[in-house]
Each structure stands twice: as C-alpha cells, then as structure tokens.
Amino acid sequence: MSDVLENLARVLEARKEADPETSYVASLHAKGLNKILEKVGEECTETLLAAKDTERSGETRELIGETADLWFHSLVMLSHLGLGPDDILDELARRFDLSGLEEKASRSR
C-alpha cells in the first residue's frame, strides 16, 4: 500500500517543477496554497456527500472515487508545504498503540 503513496509522492514532487500549462499539479502549485486548500475543501464536501449516498444506496464506487480525489489533493497540499505521506504514516504509526481517547487527551494539554 505505501508503494502507491511513495510513487505518487515522487510524481507530485516532480510535477511541482513542471509547466503549469501542461500539468494540473503544477498549475495548482502556481496558483498557491489558497487554491490548493479550496480544492481540498471541495473534495472533502464531495466525499461527505458520496458517503451519505453510499449509506442510502450501498453503492461504493462514487465514494471510493471521491475519497481518492480527497487524498490526492491532500497530498498536493502536503507537498506544497514540504511534507509527504511518510510524515502522515509516521504519525499514524506513533498513535497505533494509543487509544483514541488517550491520543485526543494528549493533544489538549
């Protein structure tokens, strides 16, 4: 699973330097963080709506697609800020043996 994220992270880094006229990722970087955040927000909303549709219909294809779009744009955001999927995976690994309630309580101190 992490191979896909690693490969995607490499592609996203390379596309930062691409021509914004020919690369969607480069065009997002050229437009700046606010445009990238707008896309993350848009994809988040579409994911939420797809989840509601999935609950009603049982059909998961749209939810999977929208979640992939959300992850993709979140990775573009991280890349723009000098981070990558390993940073998130490391944090998730750190939390693995904590209960969710303990982890949440540790953030509020």
pLDDT tens digits along 33-90: 999 999 999 999 999 999 999 999 999 999 999 999 999 999 999 999 999 999 999 9
Tell me the backbone φ, ψ of residue 18, rounded to 5 degrees: -75, 175
Residue 62 CB contacts under 8 Å (≥ 6 apart), including other chains = 50, 53, 54
Residue 109 binned pLDDT confidence (cut-offs 50, 70, 90): low
Closest CA to 54 of 43, 65, 44: 65
- pTM over cut 0.85: yes
